[in-house]
Every structure is written in structure tokens, then in C-alpha cells.
Amino acid sequence: MPAAQPTIIATSISFLRSQGGFWEGTAGPSYEYAIKLSRPDSGRKPRLCFLATGLGDNPVYTSAFYYAFINLGVDVTNLSLFPCPSYPNLREHLLSQDVIWVSGGSTANLLAVWRVHGLDEIMRECWEAGVVLMGSSAGAICWHSGGTTDSFRYPLQAITDGLRFLPYSNSPHYSAEKERRPLTNQLVADGVIPDAYATDDHAGLVFFGTDLHEAIAEHPSAKCYSIAKVGEGKAVETELPTRLL
């Protein structure tokens, strides 16, 4: 059965590091939590499809993703869009999933390529049907109205043409990248982007519908935040209660 309500998990969470390559690791508890929320039908493996559009469908990352789930009993597939879609019917394949996971990379390129292939509309249909949408970095920003991005190289810039499933902005890697916090606060204060949520590395935000359900983390020091405009040229940042998985 699908999730009880439209669900998005927007994170700055990568794999738990192993002794392998740069991306190689194992899927941590946030992925298991996403699968639980998706309420997969009993009698079959949970289905998870991942998209690495923001990384240009990097084959090294694709291999690492399959490796990460090898011991979790999950039926994993990947949807590639380069050089052309890897499935003849994108809508059918994505709607058959329990969880859709989106990698980091270039948010701007991800959004452009998705729109060319109609994935913006298909993803909304999946979300409304109860397929859990999850992602990290660019894969978190994309579901929002916008946020902060390195899609155009540094310095970081605003991006304002997200899919708008969630009417907020999103800023990943909030404490790990020194430019994120001041830029996010300034953009919200100036009204360039709407009120925002932000995540440290190893943390994420769970939305039921368009409402924040909870903040989660895979590391005890990882936090989540809200940034709200409170007056002309002013914004206030608030640390959110964050549950360690």
C-alpha cells in the first residue's frame, strides 16, 4: 500500500562511509525509515528507484548505490535520462515504486532535464499517490520553491524555480559550507526566496503533505533549522528539535 499521506524526506544525508571509494558506503537508518513510511505491500520486497540526474547519471555513483542496498532486502532500480530514458514508460515505472530517491549534484541541471522529459508532472503524481520522495542536497532542494545552490559554480546563488511541491526554500549542508548560513538568511530576509528549512550534513526533514512532520538525523551533532522573514530585511533562524534515528 502507499504511504498514508504525500511524503517528502529532504536531507543532507549520504551513505555511511565504508573503506571503499568516494561514494561507496551503506544505507543508514534514514533509508529504512523512508521504506517504513512507504508501507510496502507485504509479501514482496520494497521497491526503491533512484535517480542521479544531478550527477549526469554517473555510472560510478550508480554502482555505489546498488552496493549500498545489497543487505537491506530492497528491490533497487535506477532511472537514467542520459543519453535517453532507461525505461520506455517513465510514469508507469515511477508510480510502481515505494520510494523514489534523488541524488545530489546540480539542482539547476536536474530541474531542466526533468522538465524536458515531463518528470516534474510525473513526480507530483507520484507524491500525491503516496510514493515517498526522498533525496539529498539537490535531491532535497528540487521539491521546494527554491534554495541555495552551487549549480552555477561558487559563490553560492539562489535558485527560485524548484518544483514547488513544498512552498518553502531549502538549504542543505548548512553548517558544513560556510557560505550557506549567511546566504540563506540574507536571501530570506530580502524576500528573494521564501521562508526556508536547512539541514546539516547527516540530517533531514520529513514532510507530510506540505507540513513539517519532524526533523531527523543519523548523527547526534547534526541539526535542522527554520529561517523565517520577520520584517523588512530581517530573518530569524530557529534550531528545530531533531530526532536521532
Q: Which residues pair with 215 in a beta bridge?
A: 205, 242
- Annotated active-site residue in 30, 151, 169, 173: 173
Q: What is the mean pLDDT of residues 198-220?
A: 98
Q: Which residues pair with 228 in a beta bridge?
A: 236
Distance of CA 111 to the CA centre of its chain: 13
The 10s digit of each residue's pLDDT in 145-164 is: 999 999 998 899 999 999 99
> What is d(CA 129, CA 226) in angstroms, rounded to the nearest whole number?
28
Q: Which residues pair with 47 in a beta bridge?
A: 75
Q: How confident is the model at residue 23 (pLDDT cuts 50, 70, 90)?
A: low
| Strand blocks (E) in 83-173 | 99-102, 132-136, 144-149, 157-159, 166-171
226 is catalytic: no
- Annotated active-site residue in 12, 137, 151, 169: 137
pLDDT of residue 182: 96
DSSP class of 123? H
- The answer to whether 118 and 124 are in contact (CB under 8 A) is no
137 is catalytic: yes
SS3 107: helix
The 10s digit of each residue's pLDDT in 54-97 is: 999 999 888 888 888 887 889 999 999 999 999 999 999 999 99
Q: Which CATH homologous superfamily contains domain 7-244?
A: Class I glutamine amidotransferase (GATase) domain (3.40.50.880)
What does the CA dihedral 132, 137, 143, 144 come to, rounded to 10 degrees?
Answer: 140
> What is d(CA 141, CA 2) in angstroms, rounded to the nearest whole number?
23
Distance of CA 87 to the CA centre of its chain: 22
Q: Which three cell numbers stand for residue 83?
A: 543519453
> What is d(CA 164, CA 176) in angstroms, rounded to the nearest whole number?
25
> What is d(CA 40, CA 192) in angstroms, rounded to the nearest whole number?
39
Going across the sheet that includes 47-51, the strands are 75-78, 47-51, 99-102, 132-136, 7-11, 203-208, 211-217, 242-244
